[in-house]
Amino acid sequence: MADELLLIDCGTIPYREAWDLQLALAARRGAGAIADALLLLEHPPVYSRGRRTKPEELPMGDAWYEGQGIEILDTDRGGLVTYHGPGQLVAYPIVDLAPMGGDVHEYVRGLERVMIGALAEHGVGAQTIEGLTGVWTDGPAPAPGLAGAAKKIGSIGVHVSKGITTHGLAVNVDNDLQPFEWVIPCGIEGVAMTSIAREGGREARVAAFAATVGRHFGEVFGRDGRRASLAELGLDRPPATLGAER
């Protein structure tokens, strides 16, 4: 079980419900009842606020965003405000960090490698940029008035309790990017967001990209992926398929 990775397709699931699932799985992982797991899903439109989010990151005020049909939720993850919505792949690893010596920084570097490798397979060159969070397309670091600068395509925000991870990563596949323009995403002023579809990448579909991310996660962290269902793990939720509602 130590080298196994449960790949769980949750379809489209509200943020709070996904959070509850993470906590339930994290308790079982901490007790050694299950192997490491990777939840692969989409969220309905939601802004999630990390522990360091400042009010000015949502300058229109909560009521305005909710009027656009976007939920706003506070979370226990690291990082600042970000947007999730249909067409964006969200991956929540429930992982025991003990094999990595509990090194959270190495774990985050691994998540970056997962995203960069998966994006490359779908025809989008990506990188990390010193001093900036997340994963960016190829190009120089963003600066005012700089043409051809890198755009942000993937975000990371994690939480670790008793050595078990929750939250994780999100990559824009073919989602509406407008909601990012209504906030200061990840606390970075003037950041340009992009997606696999906007960059002309291959197979810009959430289901296809989820399969790629699951495989790269296994390769980066030395796990053998196996598809599993929530029902198999004793969690009551009907089967769902990524992209089925779009």
The pLDDT score that the predictor gives to residue 225 is 96
The pLDDT score that the predictor gives to residue 214 is 98
For 203-223, how does the pLDDT look when each residue is reduced to its tens digit (9 = 90+)? 999 999 999 999 999 999 999
For 169-192, how does the pLDDT look when each residue is reduced to its tens digit (9 = 90+)? 999 999 999 999 887 655 556 678
Query: In this structure, is residue 107 part of a structural domain?
Result: yes
CATH of the domain at 217: 3.30.930.10
Query: In this structure, is residue 140 part of a structural domain?
Result: no
Number of domains in the chain: 1
Query: In this structure, is residue 199 part of a structural domain?
Result: no
For 74-133, how does the pLDDT look when each residue is reduced to its tens digit (9 = 90+)? 888 767 788 999 999 999 999 999 999 999 999 999 999 999 999 999 999 999 999 988
Long-range contacts made by residues 156-160, C-beta under 8 angstroms, separation at least 24? 156/79, 156/108, 156/111, 156/112, 156/115, 157/48, 157/50, 157/75, 157/77, 157/78, 157/79, 157/82, 158/77, 158/78, 158/104, 158/107, 158/108, 158/111, 159/75, 159/76, 159/77, 159/78, 160/97, 160/104
* Active-site annotation, residues: 186
